[in-house]
Amino acid sequence: MIKNIISGIKAYFGAFSLISKLKLWKYFVIPMIISLLTAVSVFASAYAFSDNIVNYITSIFPSWNNYSLLKTTFQIISGLIIIVIGLILYKHIIMALSAPFMSPVSEKIEAHLTGIPANSIRDTTFLEQLWRGLKVNGRNLLMELLLTLPILLLKLIPVINIFSTILLFLLQAYYAGFGNMDYTLERHFKYKESVLFVKKHRGLAVGNGIIFILFLFIPVFGVILVLPLSVTAATLKTVDALQLEKNSPHAT
């Protein structure tokens, strides 16, 4: 697990040069725009919504205004919840909408690595890629929200809340990596088979997703470059994993 996480992280080091070598930057223009506009929309809405929550609660319990520590604690917790939900929504929205643009990029990288011509594995249309992206990320969004809510509740417990932060970060990373890996997997597996493949290689997903999430904390440039680099890195490791399984003596 740890080895695969490190491997997923290391894949980023060769991503930028590979994109330039294969002249793939032009394919990322629209996804970059989608990412930037989505980030602005989601986080602007989240920021405004967080103020509304605090104002609403204090209107119900006006006495809270007399307890600065209690009010500040609630503001921090509600702000954190808004940020987490904002991150979840952001990454699944951009991954779903960018699927028709990221799948061809993944395909070209796989063709470069394996020597197998593009479109020879399984050719899918723009709408099929978009539907696959919506289906996968819709499922992941639901699962992530269901798992996130109890983890956020753990933050109310002293000491344990430290570990819950780490767990929350790894959960976010896993589903980010999942989405990036599926741009390659959609050519090889059906939806349910892809879910099983990612679970088997969850370390690669987490490693890829860790850098994905960290990129989002880089102002402006983070949301612009996160998709090109994360998708390229994920493709490199996903193709490796597929080749290893194919060459495995236990493969059928």
Tens digits of residue pLDDT in 185-215: 988 888 889 999 999 999 999 999 999 999 9
Q: Which residue's entry shows tokens 């002293």?
A: 158
Could you tell me which of 100, 187, 188 has the C-alpha nearest to residue 137? 100
Q: What percent of the chain has pLDDT over 90?
A: 30
The string over 31-66, giving b where at least 16 C-beta atoms fall within 10 Å of a residue's C-beta and e elsewhere, is: bbebbeebbeebbeebeeebeeeeeeeeeeeeeeee
Indicate the average pLDDT of the chain: 83
Tell me the pLDDT tens digit for each residue of 41-64: 877 776 677 667 767 777 777 776
205 vs 212: CA distance, rounded Å: 10
- The model's confidence at residue 148, banded by pLDDT at 50, 70 and 90, is confident
Residue-by-residue DSSP string for 49-67? HHHHHHHHHHHH-GGGGG-
Q: Average pLDDT, stretch 25-33? A: 89
Q: What percent of the chain has pLDDT over 70?
A: 85
State the pTM of this model: 0.83
Can you state the angle between helices 221-247 and 160-185, rounded to 10 degrees?
A: 70
At 252 the pLDDT is 46
90 vs 95: CA distance, rounded Å: 9
Q: CA angle, corner 208, sides to 206 and 188, nearest 5?
A: 95
